[in-house]
Amino acid sequence: MMLSRKITEWAQKHIQKSLSVNRVHCAIHKCRLKLCRAKNKPHVKMTHTHTGFRATYNPIQMMSFRKGLGYFSMPILNHIVHLIQQHGFVLQESGYAPVHPPVSETHPYDNQDPNNMPPDTGYGCKMVDGVVHYNIIITLLFRSGELDLPYPDLKEYIADMNVMMALIINGPVKSFCYRRLQYLSSKFQMHILLNEMKELAAQKKVPHRDFYNIRKVDTHIHASSCMNQKHLLRFIKRAMKKYPEEIVHIERGRGQTLKEVFESMNLTAFDLSVDTLDMHADRNTFHRFDKFNAKYNPIGESILREIFIKTDNHIEGKYFAHIIKEVMFDLEESKYQNSELRLSIYGRSRDEWDKLAQWAVKHSVYSDNVRWLVQVPRLFDVYHTKKQLANFQEMLENIFMPLFEVTINPRSHPELHLFLEHVVGFDSVDDESKPEHHIFNLDSPLPANWTEEDNPPYSYYLYYTYANMSVLNHLRRRRGFHTFVLRPHCGEAGPIHHLVSGFMLSENISHGLLLRKAPVLQYVYYLAQVGIAMSPLSNNSLFLSYHRNPLPEYLSRGLMVSLSTDDPLQFHFTKEPLMEEYSIATQVWKLSSCDMCELARNSVLMSGFSHKAKSYWLGPNYAKEGPESNDIRRTNVPDIRVAYRSETLTEELHLITHAVRTDEIYADNQHI
């Protein structure tokens, strides 16, 4: 029996006891839970509904879900977790922490023989209605229960999203959540007044450890802009002197050398300066995403962007690989800084994945301090207008079919198989402030029928990305390969439903600025501890001035936030952009040493680095709850702070779930 069917039968049997006249429809994947709407506290019951959504979708795609939430959503979540464990899903568990940091003894791309890779399973697959399914051979196995690869049902996803949209505009719910958030802010200020000196004293007692030598991860940074402008300038000048006669571009069928490219612009190496490159964001980019995108072109010339910061060009991304490796070397030298770099897959052709993997393997672009995320720009309308794509399903096939092929038979794409071992997740990127002319609903065209000129809405992109990732993750898990998570740009601008989709489907999000305008969503993001990678300097140049940034407010209330750089090429000046980000935030918002170390600890928890690495960086019990999870000798975060966060979250969850339990008891007594 399928997992979803088991959950459905159990949930219906259990919840049937507690139904009352007024019902709030709350979906757990493949099961329609009808939570009683308490006459006196409907807002509390509705807030409990939100955490039910979060608990549902994450295990389906095998993303992590905080156990602490399960303690307060019993017996529903306990039973779901039990079913999940029976079906082989991974829950966070603590393990032995190595004495030394995990370091690769050999380069992971060297001397890899495809014949030594896992064999072909013989499976076949095809995409149906925007989601990958298996052919007739696999269907027989699927029916026998040997291959059960579930993904969220489209109708239930849309229904769930509509329920959440209705709840976040409900007046009593908004008032309740706003008051709880205000209470959390005030409570933290009281905690600081009472315990700030104790926290500082605890940090002083720790030998050797301070903010400079604790692990921190840049959880949101794009590879094409991971260097600062001075670094890029020096590299361009060095390349002009070292490779002047190398053919780097084809113009009208004729090869152009690097020297000829710059001569056509009437420029020499001596003429170049940071001001000439003109890649730094300024006051003119505020609310002008088009101007910001243009800043990616050195000297305003797209040809230079293609030559120096693209993986797919005439020189096969040679220069880009060199400069990325220089950034990696700087991270290794710093020892305590790590990055999760985003590389782009556009979905225009099937060979994009192979070209990207060949670039990484050929140029040995790897570091123990770096993991990759793959970002998919939401640009279907552009490609469709240019006749590069016939429909949206073709874009999905270009993105996901190579991943299924390499999972089924790693020997068919050996470089891609090696590259994917260091990819931790997917990102969805573009200007969120673009107006959306279509609302995702049951009448929306299926991907194969989406041939409109308008771009699909944000939630449409996210659902089909998530659905295919769910199937892919289950297949990869069965083959013993690591799985991926969804970590999109979300809530930087645009409509509020982006944050609803992000809450339901994402492991964590980038930006999340609009949560400051949505108290219900902000409160449930807090309850579920959804990670938010925030980039105040980036926001300051694009959407929100620095002093209005909600990061200090989120941090004080206990949301899982971390600091990230986004685009050092556009926003930063120094060789260590992440430290620059921490420095400015600390000065402007008067953060304490404990606050900074908590942000750094959050960044490691949110990151896609391995359990083994996190066990070393944070301590062997990092996956547990409360102060037991903390090792101040590694994190420099006092147990007092960790205990405060854990106790406060526990109290809030108890408040929410106590109303549900009380009403269930009342309903049972009424039946008696």
Encoded tokens for 105:
């003894």
What dihedral angle (degrees, nearest 10) is formed by the CA atoms of 122, 463, 506, 456? 130
Encoded tokens for 539:
């926001």
The DSSP H or E segment spanning 219 is strand 216-222
Is 511 considered catalytic here? yes
Q: What is the CB neighbour count within 10 angstroms for residue 48?
A: 25
Buried b / exposed e along 555-577 (16+ C-beta atoms within 10 A): bbbbbbbbbbbbbbbbbbeebbb
The reply to whether omega before 75 is within 30° of 0 (cis) is yes
Name the residue type at position 344: S
**DSSP secondary structure, 37-55, as one string:** --SS-HHHHHHHHHHHHHH
Place of tokens 């301090």: 369
Pairing of strands 423-429, 247-251: unpaired
**DSSP secondary structure, 514-550, as one string:** GGGG-HHHHHHHHHHT-EEEE-HHHHHHHTS-GGG-S
Encoded tokens for 327:
């950034």
Q: Which long-range contacts (CB under 8 A, 24 or more apart) does 12-21 make?
A: 14/75, 14/76, 14/79, 17/664, 17/667, 17/668, 17/671, 18/663, 18/664, 18/667, 18/668, 19/667, 20/663, 20/667
Q: How far apart are CA 532 and CA 355, in angstroms?
A: 31
DSSP letter, residue 114: G
Residue pair 503/54 in contact (Cβ under 8 Å)? The answer is yes
Buried b / exposed e along 333-343 (16+ C-beta atoms within 10 A): ebeebbbbbbb
The DSSP H or E segment spanning 425 is strand 423-429
Backbone φ, ψ for residue 341 (5° rounding): -80, 140
| Catalytic, out of 384, 422, 511, 572 | 511
Q: In DSSP terms, which residues pair with 510 in a beta bridge? A: 489, 533
Phi-psi region of 156 (alpha: psi -120 to 50; beta: other; left: phi over 0): alpha
Catalytic residues: 511
